[in-house]
Amino acid sequence: MFEEKDPMQGYNGLKYFLTIVAVCLRTAYNINKGDGWKAIAWVFSSIAAIFGTYWDLVFDWGLLQRHSKNRWLRDKLLVPHKSVYFGAMVSSKRRNQKKIIPTVDKS
């Protein structure tokens, strides 16, 4: 980040940092079972999931570009069927949710 003078590297690192914090807080909740831990684990897990999904779709995949000639996609498409890209967006979101959002017991 400092050598390349590119702040986007720091934002990308923030995505991983939020994921690590969310996992640590979820672990703390699983050990301590307090309502405070549960709430903060959900908050950080949600933030990590939203930020990670947005970053993956917009910056890594180059999707959700409003002013592209392919509405909501990037200008240059490798696959001619636009539905493949929209399917990938949904698949990526579901994968991130399963990876990040904690499963909290009902007790």
pLDDT tens digits, one per residue of 23-73: 999 999 999 989 999 999 999 988 998 898 888 888 888 888 888 888 788
Residue 42 CA to residue 94 CA, distance in Å, equals 17
pLDDT tens for each residue of 63-76: 888 888 887 888 88
The 10 Å Cβ neighbour count of residue 1 is 12
pTM of the model: 0.73
CA angle 91, 59, 53 (to 5 degrees): 35
**103 or 98, which is more confident?**
98
Residue 80 CA to residue 83 CA, distance in Å, equals 9
81-85 CB contacts, 8 Å cutoff, 24+ apart? 85/61
